[in-house]
Amino acid sequence: MTTVMEHPASAPGKPAAKQPLIEKLNIFTAFGLGIVMAILFWYLARTFLPENTEGSFIKTRLDAVTIIGMLGWFFGFMTGIGALIGPFRWLLGRDLNHDENMFYAGKDQGVKRYFRYTTDHKVVGIQYLVITIIIFFVGGTLAMLIRMNLGRSGGAWLQPQTYNAIVGTHGIVMIVGTIIMITGPFGNFIMPIMIGARDMAFPRLNALSFWLIVAAIPPMLSSFFFGGISTGWSAYAPLASQAPPGMDGYIMFIVIFAISTMVAGANITTTVVRMRAKGMTWNRTPIFIYGVVASVALALPVFPLFFLSQVMSAMDRALGSTFYDVRGGGSGWLYENLFWIMGHPEVYVILIPAVAALMEMAPVFTRRPLFSFNVAIMGIAGISGLSILVWAHHMYVTGWAPLLNGPFMLTTELISIPTGMLFLVLIGTLWRGRLWMTMPTASIYALLWNFMIGGITGIYLSDVPVDGALHGSMFVTAHFHYTLMGAGLTGALASLVFWFPKMTGRMFDKTASWVAFWLVQIGFNVAFMGMFFVGLAGQPRRVDAYAALFDQGNKITTMAAYTIMAGMLVLLYGVISSWTNGAIAPMNPWHAKTLDWTVPNPVPLENFDVLPVVTSDPYGYGKAQS
């Protein structure tokens, strides 16, 4: 290992200088200490917590022991990776010196920096990319298991409880994967360079937000060994209160992930507000930056409510509080409100950066300015603002506040107006442009098609009477896959191909990108069209078996789902082969005009030798002065 830390040379006959603590910590010490602490906490809880008896302050000892064990894991992992060094050094008044900060930035550490608490935003971006791929791999494998079970009527090769656990885990894993798929890899790697900054505003918080996600995953996956997440991703109370201890894994996962989201939201927003290059006025700030900031700024106030809902769920399960238990004065509607106040904006937390990324690419591949930059910003702002006023459309059939159904229907349908603005911007940019047909360009068309179907079916579902008929059916499942996957994931895959040269210094394999694109898009549309039809015919979601009536639609969906998987595997092959053996990428292979393409490959540690001064907008294609 080469580092910039200078150790005092050892005099002959004297012991070698001690290696500083921060150099010793890495992912292996994190996992090691996490496991030791989990076992220790679990053992202590098991030994000292009172039995489930009348008058005991513990309601369900098993849940309390499970949660305490997971807390042990969490504290052990974060200590082992080095997250606590900074705060305690601050407390002691021994701030990190320049050498230590350079070490944290990963200077001269080669590949080892990817396994440490490294603060360089580019390292964090790559770490996010890898963890996103892993999350999608896990979630995708679970999806294939679901489709395998639904391949024929009667299902039956999975036990109903196992099936439910797989559906619930698939749901929440994919939601988290799609939340981080743009803002994680590209928001971290590309965004600071795009605004002309040397790093994020808070590099250590940046590393913290990533490692929190890593810490959150084992509790989640461990839930399979404790009865799984049998409630679906929404974990409705009081169903969740009665679920097996696997539910505690879900709770811990959400609590840790919510902290990560809050930290990342504050960090990214501060970076953009305070660290844009001189001359980069808001009118000259690229649209992708708006998308990323809107996404994280939207998450900032809504995820704490998700966090709160899960804290109360944990208290109900382990301590016997009655927040959601009607026998003790609680209310299931309380959970549903807290959950959906987060749950609906979260859809736009996923969608907005994906659409913004494609809006960033559209001018590049049409060689035209972005059509109506101001309308794009109004669209993003409109969606963000309205998205926090629509949550109860998920609750029409629950009986909560029927008088509010009408207003919530109205606000939900209003959201189609700013969404339409984003469509207008994309179509206006493509209109009569001289297209450079690449996989990202095709993805813009795919997004328009998929998002149109997802959006229009969303308008149906926002309608109170129609929702009464379709709620809880496969139609709903198909609808949200059209938005989150058809639009969101399409934007993310295009972003991967587009920014891959800057992130890795290699061009993405063109053939692999096209093969993956067509397999995924054809497979996706066939799979979820089939799901719309069986949903309209009445097939319920989250049920492991179905009537013979739905056989044909499900067979088609299952076959098409495997086509998507094949496409994703081709894409994974493309990532690995291009990263290892791909053609060396020039500095600006797409001839784009944003600042991220003005830095060399590989990007230097501090991005810019001298900070740039921006003198025009980023979409001045075809203008003489640009």
Partner 1 sequence: MSVETHAHSNPHHEHPDVVGSRNRLGVILILVADITFALGVLFVYFYLKGQNVNGMWLPPASDTQSATSPVSSSGAWYLAIIAGIGLLSHRYALMGARAKSQSQLVLGSGVAFLLSLLGLIYQGMQINSASFTITMGAYASCYYLIAGLNFMHLAFTVFISLGNWNRSRLGLYQNDHWHVDIVEIWWVWMTVSSLLGAFALSFT
Question: Which residue of 302, 415, 476, 512 would you call a contact of partner 1, by CB under 8 A?
Answer: 302
577 binds partner 1 (CB under 8 A): no
Site for partner 1 in 52-111 (CB under 8 A): 55, 57, 59, 87, 90-93, 95
581-600 binders of partner 1 (CB under 8 A): 593-595, 598
Residue 198 in contact with partner 1, rule: CB under 8 A? yes
* Residue 3 within binding range of partner 1, rule CB under 8 A: no
Interface pick for partner 1 out of 209, 267, 525, 563 (rule CB under 8 A): 267
Pair of tokens at residue 305: 């409510």
Contact with partner 1 (CB under 8 A) among 215, 220, 338, 520: 338
Q: Which residues contact 159 (CB under 8 A, 6 or more apart)?
A: none
In the shown chain, the binding pattern of residues 203 to 242 toward partner 1, with x for contact by CB under 8 A and - for none, equals: --x-------------------------------------
Q: Any long-range contacts for 440-443 (C-beta under 8 Å, 24+ apart)?
A: 440/358, 440/361, 440/365, 440/494, 440/495, 440/497, 440/498, 441/361, 441/365, 441/366, 442/514, 442/517, 443/358, 443/361, 443/490, 443/491, 443/493, 443/494, 443/517
Residues 403 and 425 sit within 8 Å (Cβ to Cβ): no
606 contributes a contact to partner 1 by CB under 8 A: yes
- Shortest Cβ distance from residue 59 to partner 1 (Å)? 7
Scanning 179-187, 423-431, 545-553, 616-624 for contacts with partner 1 by CB under 8 A, the matching segment is: 616-624
Total number of residues shown for the chain: 626
Question: What is the token pair recorded at 58?
Answer: 């513990």
The residue (of 368 and 481) whose beta carbon lies closer to partner 1 is 368
Find the part of the chain contacting partner 1 (CB under 8 A) among 154-162, 419-427, 527-535, 601-609: 601-609
Q: Is 305 in the site for partner 1 (CB under 8 A)?
A: yes
- Least Cα distance to 267 among 216, 215, 212, 204 occurs for 204
Q: 516-519 — which CB contacts under 8 Å span 24+ positions?
A: 516/439, 516/567, 516/568, 516/570, 516/571, 516/574, 517/439, 517/442, 517/443, 517/446, 517/493, 517/567, 518/567, 519/563, 519/564, 519/566, 519/567, 519/570
> Taking contact as CB under 8 A, which single stretch among the options 127-135, 207-215, 270-278, 431-439 is the one that binds partner 1?
270-278
Report in angstroms how near the CB of residue 219 gets to partner 1 at its nearest. Answer: 20
- Residue 404 as a binder of partner 1 (CB under 8 A): the answer is no
What are the angstrom distances between the C-alpha of 438 and each of 104, 340, 444, 560?
38, 38, 10, 24
For residue 602, cis peptide bond before it (omega within 30 degrees of 0): yes
- Residue 327 sits in the site that holds partner 1 (CB under 8 A): yes
Q: Kindly tell me which residue out of 321, 372, 416, 601 binds partner 1, with binding defined by CB under 8 A.
A: 321
The count of residues interacting with partner 1 (CB under 8 A) is: 70
User: DSSP assignment of 42-94, as one string?
Assistant: HHHHHHHSPPS-TT-S-S-HHHHHHHHHHHHHHHHHHHHHTTTHHHHHHHHT-
77, 104, 323, 475: residue in contact with partner 1 (rule CB under 8 A):
323
Residues engaged in binding partner 1 (CB under 8 A):
55, 57, 59, 87, 90-93, 95, 198, 201-202, 205, 262-263, 265-267, 269-270, 273-275, 278, 284, 286, 300-305, 307-308, 311-312, 315, 319-323, 326-331, 334, 337-338, 593-595, 598, 606, 608-618, 620, 625-626
